[in-house]
Amino acid sequence: MIEVYHVSKQYLNNINVVNDVTFTVEKNQIYGLLGPNGAGKTTLMQMIATLLKPTSGTIMVCGMNTMDQAREIHRHIGFLTSEVRLDPYSTPNKLFDFFGKLYGLSSAKIRDKKAESFERFGIGPFTDKKIVELSTGMKQKISIAISLIHDPPVVIFDEPTNGLDILTAYQVTEYLRELGRSGHAVLLSTHIFSVAESLCDKMAVIIDGRIVAEGDIPEINAQAGAKSFEKSFLNLYKTHHKE
C-alpha cells in the first residue's frame, strides 16, 4: 500500500538527506524506519504523506502517485508527526468536531469515533479541557486519535512514543499492533530498539539517508554480522556513517 522507488531528497545544499531509498509496506504489515537523529526519517515520511516533494524517484500510496493525487491520498492516510501542534486553546471535543468535519464525516460518525477513541485512550475526563492544560502523553493520544478519525487504511507515525511514559507508550504500541492486524499498512519511525523489536514485522535501518539493511530482526542481524539487534545497529552505523 506504500511503494517507495529510488527516492532522493535534497534541501538547498545539494546533499541527499534521503538517498535512493526503495521499500514497500504491505497491508497487515508494520514497517519500521530505524535510524539515528538526522538520518532522514521525518523527511522520508513527509514525502510519503505528500507534504514534501521528492527531488527524484516515485512514491505511490494505495496505487496513487504522491505527485499528482495528494488530495485523494490525504483521505487514505493518517499522519502523525511531532511537527503537528494542536491548537493550545481548543479542547479535545472541539478538535474532534473540527477535524471530523474537515474530512466530511457525518455528525453521527464523529460522535461514534469520539466515544470510541475517548474510551480507548482515557480522554473522557479531559474532553472539555484546554489543550494547553494537558500533559504531553494526553496531547499525544489526542493527536493519534485525531490523525485516525477518518479510518485511513495507511498509517504513518513519526516517533509515536516519543516523550511518553511506559504505560502510555504501551497503549500506543498496542493500538499500532491492532491496526497492523486489521488490514492496515503501518509505517513508523523510531530510535527505540524495544519498540522496533516488539512491534515491527519488517524494518529498514537508515544511516545518512540510505537504507543500509532491511528485513526482520534475524535478517538484519545476519546482514550486520551480529547476534543482537542493538549490536547490529552499531555495526551498521560504524560501517556506513560518513563523518
Binding mask 2-31 for ligand ATP (x = CB under 6 A): ---------x-----x--------------
> Does residue 81 bind Mg ion (CB under 5 A)?
no
What part of residues 30-89 is at the interface with ligand ATP (CB under 6 A)?
35, 37-43
Binding footprint of ligand ATP, residue count (CB under 6 A): 11
Pick what 35 binds: ligand ATP, Mg ion, none; C-beta below 5 to 8 Å, kind-dependent. ligand ATP
Nearer to ligand ATP, 28 or 162 (CB): 162
The residue whose grid cell reads 546482514 is 223
At 198, list the grid cell: 516488539
Whichever of 83 and 128 has its CB closer to Mg ion, that residue is 83
Counting contacts by CB under 5 A, is residue 66 touching Mg ion?
A: no
Strands (E) located in the chain: 2-10, 16-25, 29-34, 56-61, 64-65, 77-80, 154-158, 185-190, 202-207, 210-215
Among ligand ATP, Mg ion, none, what does residue 38 contact (CB within 5–8 Å per kind)? Answer: ligand ATP
CA proximity to 193, closest of 221, 212, 167: 221
Helix axes of 92-102 and 136-147: crossing angle, nearest 10 degrees:
20
Cβ neighbours around 29 below 10 Å, total = 17
Q: At what angle do helices 107-121 and 136-147 cross, to 10 degrees?
A: 140
| Interaction between residue 42 and Mg ion (CB under 5 A) | yes
Binding site for ligand ATP (CB under 6 A): 11, 17, 35, 37-43, 191
